[in-house]
Structure 1
Amino acid sequence: MLSPTRLIASLPSNSRHLALLLGLLLLGLAVASDLLNRAPQLTPPLLAAAVVSALLSGWGVPRLRQLKLGQVIRAEGPQAHLSKAGTPTMGGLLVVPVGVIIGALVAPSDERLPAVAAITLASMAIGAVDDWRSLTKHHNTGLTPRGKLLLQAISAVAFLAWAAYEQQMGGDIALPLGWVLPLGLLIWPLGLFVFLAESNATNLTDGLDGLAAGCGAIVFSGLGLQLMLRGHEGDPALAGFCAAMAGCWLGFLLFNRHPARVFMGDTGSLAMGAAMAAVALLSNSLWPLLVMGGVFLAESLSVIAQVWVFKATKNPATGQGRRVLRMAPLHHHFELGGASEQQVVVGFWALSLILVVLGLVLLP
């Protein structure tokens, strides 16, 4: 039986063809959903966002290079990544507004969409500050972890305060088989945790060319699909927003696939996680997000496990401890196990697709 590392290492790695195949697959799912619902709810925003973000990225990447916004690569990472130093970053500035604007135009009268757009853009701004400080300091750290979490928490609390005032969130979590988890007032601290956890999980996943962008497009598509399959008419407003966000990352993937000509940076990854969290909380889709976003969850847990085990087994004399992975986050573990960067990315895309299907089967 093949180990996960050997299985990933056996995958194809033609990034251009696979990125195109991924885009066609997600477009096909959107079209199929629209045919089932007899209304074009997902396909137009997905296509529009993909085309606009691709065009804007094509225009903007040379500008980012001219501004010398080159990524600083951390020395502790895989040595093969040192060649990526100088690749333009902050690409999220080019595509996140595209997804947000097109997504908000899906249903202009729906008061939830401006709120989701606001938390997404606020998280993009926090990421931009983090990226900018990293670039100006010529180091792979921008804001301090505590400072970044504080800014994220402030924006999340503002969103949750609006949701409480407008009564947009209930106290129950829908689970499969008709089960309901009643949380009451505990939904609010859980909501804050979801924002912080999801934004930082997508941030940790953004470590290989096309990894976060591809997985993000898949998960947003899955969230949109499950929202349209729920009930009689579904939730076309939030589903359309998800489709637009999926489209913007598909367009970006044309330039972010291996070898990446631009990185999204914290500017993009923090916004991606915040948008997912906001949609999930407003649509009672925390369970689908947990399942479909399993890759993001695994990446986050891999870092937590690595740090915890190292500290728990640390020898005071040598300062060394045990490690459960070759390197965290999880994608680096497979890289150092012999799989190429492209094979790891394709493997994680495939896993995300499987988890989306599982999430659709286990609809609450």
Structure 2
Amino acid sequence: MDAKLSPNEQIGLSGRVLSIILGTVLLGIAPLLDMLAGRTPWGVALTLPLWVSAIATALLGFWVVPQLRRLKMGQFIREDGPQAHLKKAGTPTMGGLFVVPTGVAIALLWSGFTPNVVAVAALTLAYGFIGWLDDWQILRRKSNKGISPRLKLMLQIGFGALFCLWAMWSGQSTNITGLALPLGLTLPLGFLFYPLAWFVLVAESNATNLTDGLDGLAGGTGAIALFGLAVLVSPTSPDLMVFCACMAGSFLGFLVHNHNPARVFMGDTGALAMGGALAAVAILTQNLLGLLILSGIFFAETLSVIAQVSYYKATKDSNGVGKRLFKMAPLHHHLELTGWSEIQVVARFYLVGGLLALICIALYL
């Protein structure tokens, strides 16, 4: 690292380099995968949807981010969080406002508005709307508390129920009531598939939302998971492959503005939509088990929160004060407080996410 650079400039360079490495890997692998699968990159493939969405989102951000700053859409930071995060107060949030619609619009156009892509896009935008409500309330109240957890959960459950009802009664989604296993096997679940799918929609969106706590963390790990899911569904659902490629590209483009130090945060607007998109595609392609593997990072983050809360309640003393299992939850904050820098946490989570994607693809394809 150049010794002449200030600490802030060194952090910026590290975050920028990290996002460039991730983008180069995903954008470079896509043409190779298309070639191996016999797909032309300019047709129904991974490459162009991924590249076009990444470039479009990155360019759009250069206009949107200053507008968010001008409108004073600054993030409020938890006072009980890592003290290093307090300097991020005032950074524009609601970045999902330009990330999600860009990826969805390109996916709809590229896929020719197939019914499955329209349904997945609708669910993604619906969950993005829930996130927007939460972000807007945070800004309006000038605190880090948005809509009530109960209202947020009820909206997630409601939109998830509508999606599952569509999947149940639509002619586009017949024979999805099974769980795809490695080696081409399928575990039939019958009607039990739909309650499971409903749960996954809510759980996945909350898991990705919990992961959105460090600069570039949710955007990068989300791009990796969406790209892995695109590869996973490519043999059977080329239209949903295109959707995942577009969303992965859009979150990659977002990293141009979200890498450390971030100039804009994703907010619930983007994080809830990301989880909804992943879950909806996995449901329509029977890849719920594959999604669990791809979402290992999000799953670990969620488990850390559940374990923290459960342990605290179980160890309460006579004064109502319990012990903490982690220094702070979710997991990425615990790692920060043990001495890891943000860059180290993000880089290692990217590496784990990439390894999980490779494992999932190797098991299924």
Query: TM-score, normalised to structure 1's length?
Result: 0.93
Equivalent residue for 2:218?
212
Q: Confirm or deny that 1:268 pairs with 2:270.
A: yes
Amino acid at match of 1:239: M
Q: Output one character per residue of 1:174-211: Cα deviation in whole Å (capped at 9) or x when no partner.
A: 11134432221111111110011000000000000000
Could you list the structure 1 runs, at least 4 aligned residues long, displaced by more than 2 angstroms after superposition: 177-182
Amino acid at match of 2:291: L
Equivalent residue for 1:34?
34
Report SS of the residue matched to 2:347: helix
Q: Is the 8 A contact 2:177 2:286 kept in 1?
A: no
Report SS of the residue matched to 1:328: coil
Equivalent residue for 1:98?
102
Gaps of 5+ in 2: 1-12
Partners in 2 of 1:269 and 1:196 — Cα distance? Answer: 12
Q: Confirm or deny that 1:237 pairs with 2:239.
A: yes
Q: Output one character per residue of 1:318-362: Cα deviation in whole Å (capped at 9) or x when no partner.
A: x22222211100001110010101110111011000000010111
Equivalent residue for 1:343?
344
- Which structure is higher in RCO with an 8 Å CA cutoff and minimum separation 6? 1
C-alpha RMSD of matched pairs (Å): 1.4
Q: Confirm or deny that 1:131 pairs with 2:135.
A: yes
Select the residue among 198, 205, 217 that pairs with 2:204. Answer: 198
- Residue 120 of structure 1 and its aligned partner are, at CA, apart by 0.6
Alignment of 1:272-351 (within 5 A): 272-317=274-319, 319-351=320-352
Alignment of 1:134-213 (within 5 A): 134-167=138-171, 168=173, 170-213=176-219
Q: Output one character per residue of 1:135-182: Cα deviation in whole Å (capped at 9) or x when no partner.
A: 111111111111000011111111111111114152210111344322
Amino acid at match of 2:332: H
- Residue 21 of structure 1 and its aligned partner are, at CA, apart by 1.0
Select the residue among 54, 61, 66 that pairs with 1:57. Answer: 61
Report SS of the residue matched to 1:181: strand
Report SS of the residue matched to 2:25: helix
Alignment of 1:347-362 (within 5 A): 347-362=348-363
Partners in 2 of 1:156 and 1:99 — Cα distance? Answer: 20
Q: Is the 8 A contact 1:152 1:196 kept in 2?
A: yes
- Residue 109 of structure 1 and its aligned partner are, at CA, apart by 4.8
Q: Confirm or deny that 1:249 pairs with 2:251.
A: yes
Q: Is the 8 A contact 1:199 1:272 kept in 2?
A: yes
Equivalent residue for 2:364?
363
Partners in 1 of 2:159 and 2:113 — Cα distance? Answer: 23
Partners in 2 of 1:32 and 1:343 — Cα distance? Answer: 29
Amino acid at match of 1:320: V
Partners in 1 of 2:321 and 2:216 — Cα distance? Answer: 33
Q: Output one character per residue of 1:224-263: Cα deviation in whole Å (capped at 9) or x when no partner.
A: 11222x4xxx421111110000000010001000000000
Across the two proteins, how many residue pairs are aligned to each other?
A: 348
